[in-house]
Structure 1
């Protein structure tokens, strides 16, 4: 009989964790330990590795707050990351073992935010069925706006077409940059402060550090008019998806068409081989409201909605997995 066991993550597991992540079917570089640990001082890490006998079959990036465990709150998504060869039965038993372990540790609830399907390398919906059996409660649903590049919707917005023509008329230029200083200091930070009174999730030092660790996954594209930066976007790139992590432009964006130019360039030239181009969410207030203006703007590029769900699971409900297999 195969024995399933759970181990709490320890730094000695770093190589094992990262190597497994590379061969997983639903993990991305966000779950790499170097990415997770850039802000380790803000979270109490409570990540787990799940084994079948001596073989690692799943990892769970997580942090703990009192008697709750969260899919790591420093990550956009995560959930249970599983191996390409893992069968439904293996994943079922891995989840059951994980919840039993959490219950034994005095944890009564797990908040799970699975990786959206567009980021999966292979079909990985086993967890959706398991959540149903666990009587998990859907507690939040965000909408992310993405373009399916193989079945893209033609841009019908006259604003986007006019914006592109303005950018060309103004002789704007898109450049990929190795550093983030100009965009962060002259565009992003001032805009976020003026419009929302907030700062970027990542400081300039943090995004520079992450770029050094993931040079092929984090890329910066700036737009210039006569060598002066007027807009930019920071892209988080995975196997299937190019995700716009930050988007910002100066106050002349409507007259210059700067954002129309950069996204036309990225969607049709730089990332035309990706399955999806993801503009990110438009939700506010924990998913309960949608910024309609931002939603419409992203849709005007041909992007359409994909849900990103958050679930609450009571650890004691692992007993509901006992009768799944007949």
Structure 2
């Protein structure tokens, strides 16, 4: 096996491989990765077995550390769906990192349900010396088991409160960003969304069928909205926000429930509601409770580090 650094010459090969990989998705295609190329020193790698591409590693460097690309939700070592050489591929990656004299190698793994080979790969990573450097809690609605939201969340269907609300598909991203998302994040958390409106619109231009926007309207007013990333059998909640009127009407409950119901009807396996950790790693208990009441269950998300300094 051998490793080459990614360059634009390989764009088509890279993207084609991502689409057939075990845990890759459109986040790992080059058009998505490079919308914020100015923020990272890209050091993505391609691993070959003779002339066959067998793995891609979306990565960047920071000081003397090779990291899973931090501009992405996750970006571990991506291998073919049928790949049984993960141990050899990983060994080749570790050998490369040592040769390049990096101090450490960091992997940001996806939640386990993103990768059918997760348990097998996890065992090899641990046996290769990787240690957990950060563990977060992700909430997922798992349709491979019975989905049962709490009666507290569904009461609006029974008392008629949800009848006043209308679900709107294919809503303008700009309306949601300017009217709901940015004002709510600033007022509640003094923060801004990871993507500004220009960036998310650019990404939607590239991946029109994969970045979806829904909203809830009450008396012609947008009171809640949600941005979704479509990973085929997984639907991921990327952003969600509501205004004061929306919270009074329980519009967020209605919106989440309708999205989850639609995903189930479409035959998806999972709805990923995202992590519930504060920036310091502690649990956001309120958010955890909200997502559990929607019928979601917890699953761990790991970041692993291999220290190469010894």
TM-score w.r.t. the length of structure 1 is 0.90
Offset from partner CA, 1:39-88 (integer Å, 9 cap, x none): 1110000110000111110000011001001110001112000012211x
d(CA) in 1 for partners of 2:24, 2:304: 18
Q: Given that residues 263 and 271 in structure 2 are in contact (C-alpha distance below 8 angstroms), is that contact kept between their aligned partners in structure 1?
A: no
Q: What whole-Å deviation, never above 9, does each CA across 1:258-315 have from its counterpart, x for those lacking one?
A: 112212211112443111111111101343x101011001111110101110011134
2:136 corresponds to: 142
Q: Could you tell me which residue of structure 1 aligns to residue 239 of structure 2?
A: 246
Counterpart residue number, 1:97: 92
Task: Tell me which residue corresponds to 1:81.
Answer: 78
Correspondence 1:224 to 2:217: yes
Give the unaligned 5+ runs of structure 1: 318-326
For 1:209, which of 185, 202, 209 is the aligned residue? 202
* Aligned partners of 2:135 and 2:301 also within 8 Å: yes
Instruction: Tell whether the 8 Å contact from 1:179 to 1:208 is kept in structure 2 after alignment.
Output: no
Report the 3-state secondary structure (helix = DSSP H, G, I; strand = E; otherwise coil) of the residue aligned with 2:87. helix
The change in CA–CA distance for 1:177 and 1:238 in structure 2 (over 3 A counts) is: same
Partner of 1:181: 174
Runs of 5+ consecutive residues of structure 2 not aligned to the other structure: none
2:44 to 38, 42, 47: 47
CA deviation map 1:14-49 (0-9, x unaligned): 111000011111111111111111111100001100
Alignment of 1:100-119 (within 5 A): 100-119=95-114
Distance 1:105 1:213 in 2: 34
Aligned length: 308
Determine the structure 2 residue equivalent to 1:8: 5
CA distance in structure 1 between the aligned counterparts of 2:39 and 2:180, rounded to whole angstroms: 26
1: CA distance between counterparts of 2:192 and 2:160?
A: 30
8 Å CA contact 2:235–2:263 kept in 1: the answer is no
Aligned residue in 2 for 1:57: 54
Distance change (3 Å), C-alpha of 1:19 and 1:286: farther
Moved more, 69-78 or 125-134: 125-134
CA distance in 2, matches of 1:197, 1:157: 33
CA distance in 2, matches of 1:271, 1:245: 18
CA distance in 1, matches of 2:37, 2:3: 22
Q: d(CA) in 1 for partners of 2:257 and 2:189?
A: 27
Query: For each residue in 1:221-253, what CA deviation from the matched residue of structure 2 results, as whole angstroms up to 9, or x when unmatched?
Result: 011112210000001110221111101100123
Which 10-residue stretch deviates more, 91-100 or 307-316?
307-316
Give the CA deviation at 1:162.
2.9
Structure 1's 267 and 61: CA in aligned 2 closer, same or farther, altered over 3 A?
Answer: same
Between the aligned partners of 1:123 and 1:92, the Cα distance in structure 2 is 12
1:154/1:302 contact within 8 Å kept: yes
